[in-house]
Chains A and B, each alone.
Chain A
Amino acid sequence: MIEFIHTEACIECDKCVAACPDLVFDAVPEGVPTLARREDCQTCYLCELYCPVDAIYVSPRLAPEQGLDQQAIVNAGLLGSYRRALGWAPGKPAGAAGDLSYRMHEDFPGGLGEAWKRSSRGNAKA
């Protein structure tokens, strides 16, 4: 569930307001968006991904966290960590080239793992 917008970093672009599939945020004229309907948050992290300045923190827990230390999360470098893990540039996709999912498929039992390896090799460009 979303925990906070880091108000010092927020540039009030309202990208999170539009990106949220459940309209958790309300835009504020000349201000930082408010978390108007936190209970509608389904922990999808899209607001984090689309934030161009890594100013949003979504907790991976379903319920609100008690006594959350904002500064500790900022200091731990957790803001924007999902965006970086996906290899996105600030606020926008940058291709899925670093996706290592094929390793999971190669591990499938029986002939299936081998089938996945073959399908990848078959696509290899000379």
Chain B
Amino acid sequence: MHYIVPDDAAQRLGMVGSRVKEGQPFIDPSWVERVYDQTCANLDRLTEWGYEWPRNELGGEFRGNLRGPDYLQFLRRRLRKSGVKILDHSPALSLLQADDGVAGARGVSRAYGRHAAGTWEVRAKTVVMATGGCAFRSGATGTFNLTGDGYLMAAQAGATFSGLEFTSNYAIAPATGALTKGIIYRSASFSDAQGQPVPRPQLFRKLADGERVFAVLDKAGDYLADGYRQGQPNIFLYFNRVGSDPFRVPYEIRLFYEGTVRGTGGLLTSEQCETSVPGLFAAGDVVSKERLVGAAASGGGPASSWTNASGTWAGAAAAQRAREIGLRGGERVVRNVSDISGTGASKDTAAEKDITYREAFERVQAQVVPLDRNYFRTGAGLRAGLAELDALWAKRHRIAPDAHADTPDGHVRAQVRWHELSAMIASARLFFTSALAREESCGLHRREDFPQVPGAASTPRHIHVSGVDTLRQWSVPLAWTPTAPRTQPDESATQVSEAAAA
């Protein structure tokens, strides 16, 4: 969690400077300051609300880490105290739209304990989308709930995306584990199966070639090692439970694809966090973070600051829009943006489907997960991937429901899985379309066939993309403006990808 302490110029310089170095040329330093300043103000409010901070040896409060389970529980209690109703285990499947903008959402509720499965619909004057990024259920902890559902719903409403080529973020984890926090690897040495050192820049190539690589956290002294252990207990659960000492004994590592969870691209929004779809606001990882981190990975620090600050801004702007709509809101005629019935509406039995859920899911993963496809990118590879993804999108209604359809909420689970799969296909098509368009290498986008970085001679360009069945891609010169983003591509947009309905 990065933030700027008011009136501390040296701290401001340190915090912003570390970002700017990595984020060129797409970063906007004044935007970094604005995000970090808002985060500092929010952390003050959190303190007023009674959040307890750890203290360092000098007695200073350390506010740079919001431990997930504690923080979420704190916010949840706060929301409940304020009278907010929370629908747990109830994913949204479609936005609702009125003539003058987005007007709510619909979804389903999973069955658990005494809660029965069902459907829900919320009519609202505006909507703030905070569905997170997409990591394609790659297996890292957290990725099962980050399947790009928001991208699909927003794309169906006509939203424009930006920077989705800055998405090839892979993170290190123990070979048989699931946790990908990268911070400990600042203290790591890497070696191959023969014990020979592997310089960090060669790590990805070696793993892509199927070689085994090992890590040991031998650069951490006792003080820092304690900091890791007691600051990040979930990382060390792995080592404690398998009974190994990561500070002394090398352990085999692997990479997990993290997509836009720690990657960068997402929905294009205005400074007020309004998307190009009227009435649809967005916060957190679902939004492009290019202005904050440029082409680089957002990591945990800037990303959580962004979640914090953008939530404040999106909420304020959405509330303002709601006030403008006022009583008129009750008279708006509302329609579904997309058909949410999914497999539930299909009369086909499983035997009449072309492809099983598992098979379709594995085909999506085969396109986005392999390093040789999505880390070391080439035009040929991206085009082949896109063709496969277009074909999957076209036949998504012919994907048989997931197994377990016969358990208590099986039909809802199958419907949710089908929607998530559709969202992963849609997200991957947007990612690959953007990656094909940027014929240069920068930050989280590496083109083997275009290794050159954005030139100093010409203005860098943003890659924009929109669409669901037919995708459109265009680019605009880099220029940060406070105005709302354009809704539609202009005549320069290329129709790059089309998935004919099956």
Q: Which residues of A contact B (CB under 8 A)?
A: 14, 17-18, 21-23, 25-27, 36-37, 40, 42-46, 49, 59-63, 78, 81-82, 85-86, 88, 92-93, 95-108, 110-112, 114-125
Contacts of A111 in B (CB 8 A): 10, 13-14, 17-18
Other-chain residue from B15, B178, B231 in contact with A43 (beta carbon distance below 8 A):
B178
Contacts of A114 in B (CB 8 A): 10, 14
Judge if B156 is at the interface, Cβ distance under 8 Å: no
Judge if B234 is at the interface, Cβ distance under 8 Å: yes
A sample of 19 more A-B contacts (CB under 8 A), given A85-B233, A101-B227, is A17-B112, A37-B407, A40-B144, A42-B145, A44-B142, A60-B177, A61-B242, A62-B139, A85-B230, A97-B54, A101-B231, A102-B54, A107-B227, A112-B17, A115-B11, A118-B5, A119-B63, A120-B61, A125-B59
Tell me the nearest residue of chain A to B236, going by C-beta: A85
Interface size class of B (residues with CB under 8 A): 35 or more
Contacts of B143 in A (CB 8 A): 42
Contacts of B227 in A (CB 8 A): 100-104, 107
Contact status A101-B64, CB under 8 Å: yes
Judge if B462 is at the interface, Cβ distance under 8 Å: no
Instruction: State whether A93 and B70 are in contact (beta carbons under 8 Å apart), knowing that A18-B113, A116-B64 are contacts in the complex.
Output: yes
Tell me the nearest residue of chain B to A21, going by C-beta: B145
Contact status A122-B11, CB under 8 Å: yes
Q: What are 22 pairs between A and B in contact, CB < 8 Å?
A: A21-B144, A42-B139, A42-B142, A42-B143, A42-B145, A45-B234, A49-B69, A60-B178, A62-B139, A93-B70, A95-B70, A96-B52, A96-B67, A98-B54, A99-B62, A101-B67, A102-B56, A105-B64, A111-B13, A118-B5, A119-B5, A123-B62
* Residue-wise interface mask of B (320-353) relative to A, using a CB-CB cutoff of 8 A (1 in contact, 0 not): 0000000000000000000000000000000000
Nearest 4 CB-CB pairings of A with B: A103-B227, A115-B14, A101-B231, A120-B60
Alpha-carbon separation in the docked complex, A108 to B229 (Å): 17
Other-chain residue from B3, B13, B52, B408 in contact with A26 (beta carbon distance below 8 A):
B408
Judge if B87 is at the interface, Cβ distance under 8 Å: no
Q: Which residues of B contact A (CB under 8 A)?
A: 3, 5, 8, 10-11, 13-15, 17-18, 52-56, 58-65, 67, 69-70, 73-74, 88-89, 110-114, 139, 141-145, 176-179, 183, 186, 223-224, 226-234, 236-238, 240-242, 404, 407-409, 413
Other-chain residue from B10, B183, B226, B241 in contact with A118 (beta carbon distance below 8 A):
B10
Alpha-carbon separation in the docked complex, A122 to B234 (Å): 29
Instruction: State whether A101 and B10 are in contact (beta carbons under 8 Å apart), knowing that A42-B143, A96-B70 are contacts in the complex.
Output: no
Contacts of A105 in B (CB 8 A): 62, 64-65
Contacts of B69 in A (CB 8 A): 46, 49, 86, 88, 93
Contact status A119-B240, CB under 8 Å: no
Tell me the nearest residue of chain B to A61, going by C-beta: B176
Contact status A86-B67, CB under 8 Å: yes
Residue among B61, B65, B69, B230 having the largest count of chain A Cβ atoms under 10 Å? B69
Contact status A123-B88, CB under 8 Å: no
Q: How far is the CB of A71 from chain B (nearest CB, A)?
A: 16
Contact status B65-A44, CB under 8 Å: no
Other-chain residue from A42, A60, A104, A117 in contact with B228 (beta carbon distance below 8 A):
A104
Contacts across chains A and B counted by CB atoms under 8 Å:
206
Residue among B62, B110, B114, B232 having the largest count of chain A Cβ atoms under 10 Å? B62
Alpha-carbon separation in the docked complex, A100 to B228 (Å): 7
Contact status A85-B237, CB under 8 Å: yes
Instruction: State whether A124 and B61 are in contact (beta carbons under 8 Å apart), knowing that A60-B177, A104-B227 are contacts in the complex.
Output: yes
Contacts of B62 in A (CB 8 A): 99, 101-102, 105, 116, 120, 123
Q: How far is the CB of B189 from chain A (nearest CB, A)?
A: 16
Q: How far is the CB of A43 from chain B (nearest CB, A)?
A: 4
